[in-house]
Amino acid sequence: MLKSMYSGISGMKANQTKMDVVGNNVANVGTTAFKKSSSRFTDSLNQTMIHASAPTGGIGGTNPGQIGIGTKVSGIYKHMGQGSLQPTGRNTDLALDGDGFFVVEKDGETAFTRDGSFSLDEDGTLVTADGYRVTDDAGNIIVIPTEVNDGGVDKKVISLTVSKDGTISLGLEDGTKVENHATVRVAVFQNSEGLIAQGGNLYVQSANSGDPIYGDAHGSIIQGAIEMSNVDLSEEFTEMIVTTRAFQASSKVITTSDELLQEIINLKR
């Protein structure tokens, strides 16, 4: 059987995987804080048909002659570049302008997200769209009370303000404020591309992401805004065209190889 048929098959499979990546990027162009991915190929096995030889006294050296046997997907990479920020006017919506991830509690485990589409539940807990609880710099759940006791008097909370460093302040009905009520926790990673996507705009650390680093080395928190997807549709459509043509070319290799085999079979007639 011709090696070219197997090369064509490998090209079709690799480009099918690439199209899956492109399709997912396009599908998530409107997903809050979505990070696009890209696939990379590498050549597969090479069969040596002519071995290299060293120069001798009477003749020069010769180079090896090799035939490649297709391609394969070498990696699928996450692009963690920041998307543009979109104002929303909601005081519980937060966006990170720069590095970092919000830290949430998911089923008793720690997860990370760039999606700051937060809201308050019935108990005043700051939660994600899926109900996962947002944590503060001490690792505790952030709860915004409806009333606070100030100078022995219960005062109604009428507003909350989040500063660029994540500090939450509460505005009271008499015009006073409760400063430093809590601080939104933000984590950074040595290799954020190594995080494992869990769906629902959540990530968990992997063996290659490094441990979360907490502190001041993160981007600014912008209240009343969310981060948009970093997918560029023009780039994705271009990749879609290239991938489609490459897939068609690989399939053509198979059909052409089949025609060659048919000619060989016809020699018997």
pLDDT in tens, the chain (269 residues): 578 899 999 999 999 999 999 999 999 999 999 999 999 999 988 888 899 999 998 899 999 998 888 999 999 999 999 999 999 999 999 999 999 999 999 988 999 999 999 999 999 999 999 999 999 999 999 999 999 887 788 899 999 999 999 999 999 998 899 999 999 999 999 999 999 999 999 999 999 999 999 987 889 999 999 999 999 999 999 999 999 999 999 999 999 998 988 888 888 76
Residue 112's alpha-carbon distances to 93, 125, 192, 223, 266, in angstroms, are: 16, 17, 11, 18, 63
Whether the CB-CB separation of 96 and 88 falls below 8 Å is answered with no
Residue 57 included in any domain: no
pLDDT for position 190: 94
The token pair that represents 166 in the structure block: 């994540």
pTM, two decimals, is 0.88
Ramachandran area for residue 215 (φ above 0: left; ψ -120 to 50: alpha; else beta): left
Query: Is the same domain home to 142 and 68?
Result: no
Whether the CB-CB separation of 192 and 230 falls below 8 Å is answered with no
Query: Is the same domain home to 208 and 248?
Result: no
Query: Is the same domain home to 106 and 220?
Result: yes
Residue 195 included in any domain: yes
Query: Is the same domain home to 39 and 148?
Result: no
Query: Is the same domain home to 74 and 37?
Result: yes
pLDDT for position 268: 75
Query: Is the same domain home to 91 and 187?
Result: yes
Residue 56 included in any domain: no
Number of domains the chain is built from = 2
Query: Is the same domain home to 10 and 101?
Result: no
Query: Is the same domain home to 158 and 94?
Result: yes
Query: Is the same domain home to 247 and 187?
Result: no
pLDDT for position 82: 95
Query: Is the same domain home to 174 and 99?
Result: yes
Residue 55 included in any domain: no
Residue 58 included in any domain: no
pLDDT for position 133: 96
Burial of 108 (0-12, 13-18, 19+ CB in 10 A): exposed
Residue 17's alpha-carbon distances to 37, 55, 128, 219, in angstroms, are: 12, 44, 31, 34
Tokens 């009333």 belong to which residue? 147
pLDDT for position 151: 78
pLDDT for position 2: 79
- What is the domain range of residue 10? 3-50+64-80+231-266
Residue 235 included in any domain: yes
Query: Is the same domain home to 107 and 166?
Result: yes
pLDDT for position 204: 97
Query: Is the same domain home to 106 and 179?
Result: yes
Residue 21 included in any domain: yes
Residue 122 included in any domain: yes
pLDDT for position 1: 59
